[in-house]
Amino acid sequence: MTACANQSAIQAAVQEHNVSSRLQWKLWLYTNFDCNLSCSYCVAESSPSAARRGLGLENVRRLVDEALDLGFQRVFFTGGEPFILSEIYDMLAYASARMPTTVLTNAMLLRGQRLDKLCAIANQNLSFQVSLDGGRPEHHDAYRGNGSWLKAVEGIRRLKAEGFRVLISSTETPANTAFLDELHVFRRSLGIPDEDHFVRPLARRGFSQEGIEVGVNTLIPEVTVTINGVYWHPVVSPSDTDMLVSKQIFPLANAVRAIEQQVAAVENQANMARTEFT
């Protein structure tokens, strides 16, 4: 089937099932699962000792091309920590030359040669989403490890100084829930506006033993690709199978169609409210 034929089939499925308002046309790519941190609430079960499970540059290029053909509007790179990878700059350059691209990072590694390489590929399509859980170290480090708040803030400041757009995502936890106003004040002092800040609840997934239950019935689907297959949503760990849509990554159109059909099937069984979560 050609790309145009694929797109027609998907648009037909969208119209048939009236799911276009619920399927987020955002593509998530898990570049890797290893990380320089080992946060106790990590849904991806990442850590320095986690297996890499790398997606690879050629797969990323093909996924971006197919996503464009399918009408996806934005791509998000996540992990693990993507900036562990030497090929992340080529991945981001390829994607951001073609569509709005956001990379999720803890920002702790973004200095020296890594920052230089980022500056070399800077463009208006490329933005960063950095995790920051507090206006003070204790509100962030409780789940992410001692010293991580300071290094994250330093990374944010370096990115801002180079002119990059930086968005902040925060996880609301028992350690910071009483201090979110303080977090907002601090975040604004970093030059990051309200519309570029997301606060989400803890999810009981991966390493996290607390938080809300999330799954196919409660999450608006956002097509997510790892080296192990295509998933319903990025809030997923490598060991999860309940949100696995397809073990076959290519062609991406098949998994997208399967998600749309699953949306229709689930809604026929139960009229449940879903949340965007990311």
- The candidate with the shortest Cα–Cα distance to 254, out of 219, 225, 220, 214, is 225
By CB under 6 A, is residue 42 in contact with ligand SF4? yes
- Rank residues 14 and 44 by Cβ distance to ligand SF4 and give the closer one: 44
Which DSSP letter does residue 2 get? -
Q: How far is the CB of 131 from ligand SF4 (least distance, A)?
A: 6
By CB under 6 A, is residue 169 in contact with ligand SF4? no
Tell which one of 19, 27, 44, 253 touches ligand SF4 (CB under 6 A): 44
Q: Which amino acid is at 111?
A: R
- How far from chain centre, in Å, is Cα 27? 9
- Rank residues 143 and 232 by Cβ distance to ligand SF4 and give the closer one: 143
By CB under 6 A, is residue 37 in contact with ligand SF4? yes
By CB under 6 A, is residue 96 in contact with ligand SF4? no
Q: How many CA atoms lie within 13 A of 172 on its CB side?
A: 16
Q: How far is the CB of 143 from ligand SF4 (least distance, A)?
A: 8
By CB under 6 A, is residue 235 in contact with ligand SF4? no
Which DSSP letter does residue 258 get? H
By CB under 6 A, is residue 259 in contact with ligand SF4? no
Structure tokens at 219: 């999450």
Cα–Cα distance, 242 to 95 (Å, whole number): 29
Q: How many CA atoms lie within 13 A of 135 on its CB side?
A: 14
Residues that bind ligand SF4 (CB under 6 A): 35, 37-39, 42, 44, 46-47, 79-81, 106, 144
